[in-house]
Amino acid sequence: MSARILLVDDDAELTELLRDYLEREGFAVRTSHDGATGVTAALSNRYDIVVLDIMMPGMSGIEALARIRAESSIPVIMLTARGDDADRVTGLELGADDYVPKPCTPRELAARIRAILKRTSAVAVAPTLPIVVGTLSVYPAQRRVERAGVPFDFTSTEFNLLETLARNAGQPVSKADLSQKGLGRPLKRFDRSIDVHMSSIRHKLGNLADGRSCIQTVIRKGYQLIVE
Protein backbone atom coordinates (compact mmCIF):
# COMPACT_ATOMS: atom_id res chain seq x y z
CA MET A 1 0.00 0.00 0.00
CA SER A 2 1.32 3.43 -0.94
CA ALA A 3 2.23 5.83 1.84
CA ARG A 4 -0.45 8.51 2.16
CA ILE A 5 0.78 12.10 2.20
CA LEU A 6 -1.20 15.21 3.07
CA LEU A 7 0.33 18.31 1.46
CA VAL A 8 -0.88 21.61 2.96
CA ASP A 9 0.24 24.77 1.16
CA ASP A 10 -1.61 27.80 -0.25
CA ASP A 11 0.75 27.93 -3.26
CA ALA A 12 -1.35 25.97 -5.75
CA GLU A 13 1.36 25.87 -8.44
CA LEU A 14 4.00 24.49 -6.06
CA THR A 15 1.52 22.06 -4.58
CA GLU A 16 0.71 20.60 -7.99
CA LEU A 17 4.41 20.34 -8.83
CA LEU A 18 5.17 18.48 -5.62
CA ARG A 19 2.12 16.25 -5.90
CA ASP A 20 2.95 15.21 -9.47
CA TYR A 21 6.50 14.30 -8.49
CA LEU A 22 5.53 12.46 -5.30
CA GLU A 23 2.85 10.46 -7.10
CA ARG A 24 5.40 9.42 -9.73
CA GLU A 25 7.55 8.23 -6.81
CA GLY A 26 4.75 5.95 -5.68
CA PHE A 27 3.10 8.03 -2.94
CA ALA A 28 -0.63 8.67 -2.61
CA VAL A 29 -1.00 12.44 -2.24
CA ARG A 30 -3.91 14.66 -1.22
CA THR A 31 -3.67 18.43 -1.02
CA SER A 32 -5.17 21.22 1.05
CA HIS A 33 -4.69 24.94 0.49
CA ASP A 34 -5.44 26.41 3.92
CA GLY A 35 -4.52 25.68 7.51
CA ALA A 36 -8.00 24.98 8.90
CA THR A 37 -8.86 22.42 6.23
CA GLY A 38 -5.39 20.93 6.60
CA VAL A 39 -5.85 20.41 10.35
CA THR A 40 -9.17 18.64 9.83
CA ALA A 41 -7.63 16.36 7.21
CA ALA A 42 -4.52 15.67 9.32
CA LEU A 43 -6.69 14.54 12.23
CA SER A 44 -8.82 12.23 10.07
CA ASN A 45 -6.44 9.26 10.48
CA ARG A 46 -6.31 8.85 6.71
CA TYR A 47 -2.68 9.91 6.25
CA ASP A 48 0.78 8.65 7.19
CA ILE A 49 2.57 12.00 7.14
CA VAL A 50 1.79 15.71 6.72
CA VAL A 51 3.83 18.26 4.78
CA LEU A 52 2.80 21.67 6.14
CA ASP A 53 3.79 25.11 4.89
CA ILE A 54 4.45 27.71 7.60
CA MET A 55 3.49 30.84 5.64
CA MET A 56 -0.23 30.64 4.88
CA PRO A 57 -2.95 33.31 5.13
CA GLY A 58 -5.55 32.92 7.86
CA MET A 59 -4.37 30.05 10.02
CA SER A 60 -0.58 29.84 9.75
CA GLY A 61 1.32 26.60 9.58
CA ILE A 62 2.57 27.19 13.13
CA GLU A 63 -0.98 27.42 14.48
CA ALA A 64 -2.05 24.44 12.38
CA LEU A 65 0.85 22.40 13.77
CA ALA A 66 -0.08 23.30 17.34
CA ARG A 67 -3.65 22.11 16.75
CA ILE A 68 -2.46 18.89 15.14
CA ARG A 69 -0.06 18.16 17.99
CA ALA A 70 -2.77 18.74 20.58
CA GLU A 71 -4.52 15.62 19.27
CA SER A 72 -2.12 13.58 17.14
CA SER A 73 1.48 12.42 16.86
CA ILE A 74 1.32 12.00 13.06
CA PRO A 75 4.71 12.87 11.52
CA VAL A 76 4.87 16.47 10.24
CA ILE A 77 7.45 18.06 7.94
CA MET A 78 7.38 21.86 7.85
CA LEU A 79 8.10 23.89 4.71
CA THR A 80 9.93 27.00 5.87
CA ALA A 81 11.34 30.14 4.29
CA ARG A 82 15.06 29.73 3.67
CA GLY A 83 17.05 31.38 6.43
CA ASP A 84 14.06 31.86 8.75
CA ASP A 85 15.53 30.18 11.84
CA ALA A 86 12.90 31.55 14.23
CA ASP A 87 10.05 29.76 12.45
CA ARG A 88 12.07 26.57 12.18
CA VAL A 89 12.85 26.49 15.89
CA THR A 90 9.25 27.31 16.79
CA GLY A 91 8.01 24.50 14.55
CA LEU A 92 10.42 22.00 16.06
CA GLU A 93 9.52 23.10 19.58
CA LEU A 94 5.84 22.53 18.78
CA GLY A 95 6.59 18.99 17.65
CA ALA A 96 7.47 19.10 13.94
CA ASP A 97 9.57 16.10 12.97
CA ASP A 98 11.72 17.93 10.43
CA TYR A 99 11.73 20.92 8.10
CA VAL A 100 12.61 21.58 4.48
CA PRO A 101 13.60 25.14 3.42
CA LYS A 102 11.75 26.65 0.46
CA PRO A 103 12.31 26.76 -2.40
CA CYS A 104 12.87 23.02 -2.18
CA THR A 105 13.33 20.40 -4.84
CA PRO A 106 10.73 17.63 -5.03
CA ARG A 107 13.56 15.12 -4.80
CA GLU A 108 14.75 16.52 -1.46
CA LEU A 109 11.23 16.50 -0.03
CA ALA A 110 10.70 12.92 -1.16
CA ALA A 111 13.95 11.89 0.51
CA ARG A 112 12.92 13.52 3.80
CA ILE A 113 9.52 11.85 3.66
CA ARG A 114 11.05 8.43 3.03
CA ALA A 115 13.54 8.87 5.87
CA ILE A 116 10.78 9.59 8.39
CA LEU A 117 8.40 6.92 7.12
CA LYS A 118 11.15 4.32 7.13
CA ARG A 119 11.56 4.82 10.86
CA THR A 120 7.90 5.18 11.79
CA SER A 121 6.57 2.30 9.71
CA ALA A 122 9.21 -0.27 10.69
CA VAL A 123 7.43 -3.09 12.50
CA ALA A 124 9.39 -6.05 13.76
CA VAL A 125 8.25 -9.43 12.47
CA ALA A 126 9.19 -11.08 15.76
CA PRO A 127 8.63 -9.60 19.22
CA THR A 128 11.33 -7.10 20.13
CA LEU A 129 12.59 -6.84 23.67
CA PRO A 130 12.43 -3.39 25.24
CA ILE A 131 15.58 -1.35 25.78
CA VAL A 132 15.75 -0.84 29.54
CA VAL A 133 17.87 1.94 31.05
CA GLY A 134 17.19 2.16 34.79
CA THR A 135 13.49 3.01 35.13
CA LEU A 136 13.24 3.97 31.45
CA SER A 137 11.87 1.38 29.00
CA VAL A 138 11.86 1.93 25.24
CA TYR A 139 9.79 -0.45 23.11
CA PRO A 140 11.03 -0.22 19.49
CA ALA A 141 8.35 -2.44 17.92
CA GLN A 142 5.49 -0.51 19.51
CA ARG A 143 7.36 2.81 19.39
CA ARG A 144 6.41 3.31 23.01
CA VAL A 145 8.27 4.79 26.01
CA GLU A 146 7.64 4.31 29.73
CA ARG A 147 9.47 5.51 32.80
CA ALA A 148 8.67 3.72 36.05
CA GLY A 149 5.52 2.46 34.34
CA VAL A 150 4.37 5.93 33.26
CA PRO A 151 3.85 6.30 29.48
CA PHE A 152 5.12 9.28 27.49
CA ASP A 153 3.99 10.83 24.23
CA PHE A 154 6.80 11.54 21.80
CA THR A 155 6.79 12.60 18.17
CA SER A 156 8.25 10.10 15.71
CA THR A 157 11.55 11.98 15.53
CA GLU A 158 11.79 12.35 19.32
CA PHE A 159 11.26 8.61 19.66
CA ASN A 160 13.97 7.89 17.07
CA LEU A 161 16.46 10.08 18.93
CA LEU A 162 15.62 8.66 22.35
CA GLU A 163 15.86 5.11 21.02
CA THR A 164 19.31 5.89 19.62
CA LEU A 165 20.46 7.30 22.98
CA ALA A 166 18.97 4.33 24.85
CA ARG A 167 20.85 1.85 22.66
CA ASN A 168 24.04 3.70 23.60
CA ALA A 169 23.16 4.49 27.23
CA GLY A 170 26.11 5.73 29.26
CA GLN A 171 28.04 6.75 26.14
CA PRO A 172 27.92 10.04 24.22
CA VAL A 173 26.34 9.99 20.76
CA SER A 174 27.46 12.67 18.32
CA LYS A 175 24.99 15.08 16.74
CA ALA A 176 26.03 13.72 13.35
CA ASP A 177 25.04 10.18 14.36
CA LEU A 178 21.82 11.38 15.96
CA SER A 179 20.86 13.29 12.82
CA GLN A 180 21.60 10.30 10.60
CA LYS A 181 19.86 7.73 12.79
CA GLY A 182 17.10 9.91 14.20
CA LEU A 183 16.26 12.18 11.26
CA GLY A 184 17.55 9.98 8.47
CA ARG A 185 19.75 12.71 6.99
CA PRO A 186 23.27 14.11 7.41
CA LEU A 187 23.75 16.91 9.91
CA LYS A 188 23.98 20.29 8.21
CA ARG A 189 26.14 23.17 9.36
CA PHE A 190 24.35 25.48 11.82
CA ASP A 191 21.40 23.05 11.98
CA ARG A 192 19.79 23.34 15.43
CA SER A 193 17.20 20.59 14.94
CA ILE A 194 18.88 18.04 17.20
CA ASP A 195 19.30 20.57 20.02
CA VAL A 196 15.64 21.59 19.87
CA HIS A 197 14.43 17.98 19.80
CA MET A 198 16.67 17.12 22.76
CA SER A 199 15.30 20.05 24.74
CA SER A 200 11.77 18.74 24.16
CA ILE A 201 12.72 15.18 25.18
CA ARG A 202 14.34 16.46 28.36
CA HIS A 203 11.29 18.51 29.23
CA LYS A 204 8.95 15.55 28.75
CA LEU A 205 11.07 13.07 30.71
CA GLY A 206 11.81 15.44 33.59
CA ASN A 207 14.78 15.14 35.94
CA LEU A 208 16.31 12.28 37.86
CA ALA A 209 15.87 11.97 41.62
CA ASP A 210 19.07 13.98 42.18
CA GLY A 211 17.82 16.84 40.02
CA ARG A 212 19.98 16.13 36.98
CA SER A 213 18.54 15.80 33.49
CA CYS A 214 18.61 12.20 32.29
CA ILE A 215 20.06 13.48 29.00
CA GLN A 216 23.40 15.20 29.38
CA THR A 217 25.25 17.40 26.92
CA VAL A 218 28.83 16.20 26.46
CA ILE A 219 30.95 19.07 25.15
CA ARG A 220 32.23 18.44 21.61
CA LYS A 221 30.90 14.86 21.74
CA GLY A 222 27.11 15.13 21.60
CA TYR A 223 24.44 13.84 23.97
CA GLN A 224 24.39 11.01 26.47
CA LEU A 225 21.57 9.17 28.26
CA ILE A 226 22.48 8.66 31.91
CA VAL A 227 22.13 5.19 33.36
CA GLU A 228 20.13 5.62 36.59
pLDDT digits (tens, 9 = 90+) for 149-160: 899 999 999 999
pLDDT digits (tens, 9 = 90+) for 3-24: 999 999 999 999 999 999 999 9
pLDDT value of residue 111: 93
Peptide bond into 127 cis (omega under 30): no
Question: In angstroms, rounded to a whole number, what is the distance separating the alpha carbons of residues 99 and 86?
Answer: 12
pLDDT value of residue 127: 53
Nearest to 213 by CA among 228, 201, 202: 202
**Domains of the chain, each with CATH number or no CATH:** 4-120 (3.40.50.2300), 131-225 (1.10.10.10)
Question: In angstroms, rounded to a whole number, what is the distance separating the alpha carbons of residues 25 and 29?
Answer: 11
Please say whether the beta carbons of 89 and 99 come within 8 A: no
User: In sequence order, what DSSP letters do the residues of 24-75 get, joined into one string?
Assistant: HTT-EEEEESSHHHHHHHHTTT--SEEEEES--SSS-HHHHHHHHHTT----
Over 70: is that where the pLDDT of 163 sits?
A: yes
Question: In angstroms, rounded to a whole number, what is the distance separating the alpha carbons of residues 167 and 157?
Answer: 15
The single-letter DSSP state of residue 103 is S
pLDDT digits (tens, 9 = 90+) for 52-96: 999 998 999 999 999 999 999 899 999 988 667 788 899 999 999
pLDDT digits (tens, 9 = 90+) for 188-211: 888 889 999 999 999 999 988 888
List alpha helices for the chain, DSSP H. 12-24, 35-42, 61-69, 85-93, 106-120, 156-167, 175-178, 193-205
Average pLDDT, the chain: 90
